Amino acid sequence: MKIIKVTDQQAGGKAGFEIFKEALANGATTFGLATGSTPVTTYAEIVASDLDFSKSTSINLDEYVGLAADHDQSYHYFMNKHLFSKKPFAQTFLPDGLAPDLDTFVKQYHEIIEKHPIDLQILGIGQNGHIGFNEPGTSFEANTHVVDLTDSTIEANSRFFASRDEVPAQAISMGIAEILKSKQIIVEAFGKNKAAAVKKMIEGPITEDVPASVLQKHDNVIVIVDEDAASLLA
């Protein structure tokens, strides 16, 4: 793992942007994208740039089950707001939180990922070490699947909803096996509350108890951390 330490999330956004820029210049066509507070500065840099994604494909990591694309907490809504409405892509794929048959849907999403191998995947990390919505205990062999969210993730996400009861209890997530097939992976983490997860991801044993620790097995991972998120590293 290559580690880039930056002063703050703004600088992290620039560092992430530079990796997207280089990947695009090197012929990358498919980008795996994350939502959440972490990648927003990278997306803002992309939006402010003249980079052209009009021939690119994006594949998002996850979406809540039960939220329509126009719900303001859906990941469809987030991606349109922060990126797609301002920087058009040729095609964008996100899990369908309203798919009538989730079992069929997750297989179809897996086929989409197989058909469009991801050149560059951007990830955030949960305080419990999750990547995508792959919570602790998720098999490293998993492909796209339906996830029951843990209490800690529901609690962490409840800040975006009117009440805790409104946070969906399930999500669809790309699996760890699919994430690992990406040619290059960026993990961004900013703030003190990510420091313990960052330490376990980089220095801890590779264990399904800390999903992000699996990234130690990938040979092209760049971790972008601010001083707070890096504060527990040896």
129 lies in the site for ligand F6R, by CB under 6 A: no
The torsion angle over the Cα atoms of residues 161, 162, 166 and 169, rounded to 10 degrees, is 30
Q: Of 45, 63, 119, 135, which is the active-site residue?
A: 135
Q: What are the residues whose beta carbons fall under 8 Å from the beta carbon of 194, sequence distance 6 or more?
A: 125, 127, 225, 228, 229
Closest separation in Å from C-beta 88 to ligand F6R: 20
Q: Which x/- pattern, by CB under 6 A, does the window 37-66 give for ligand F6R?
A: xx----------------------xx----
Q: Of 60, 63, 128, 188, which is the active-site residue?
A: 128
Residues 90 to 109 in contact with ligand F6R, rule: CB under 6 A: none
Which residue, 35 or 144, is less far from ligand F6R as judged by CB? 35
Distance CA 136, CA 130 (A): 6
3-class DSSP state for residue 201?
helix
3-class DSSP state for residue 171?
strand
Distance CA 178, CA 172 (A): 13
Closest separation in Å from C-beta 61 to ligand F6R: 4
> Alpha carbon 229 to chain centroid distance?
17
122 lies in the site for ligand F6R, by CB under 6 A: no
Residues contributing to the site for ligand F6R (CB under 6 A): 34-38, 61-62, 124-126, 130-132
Point out the residues that are catalytic. 62, 128, 130, 135
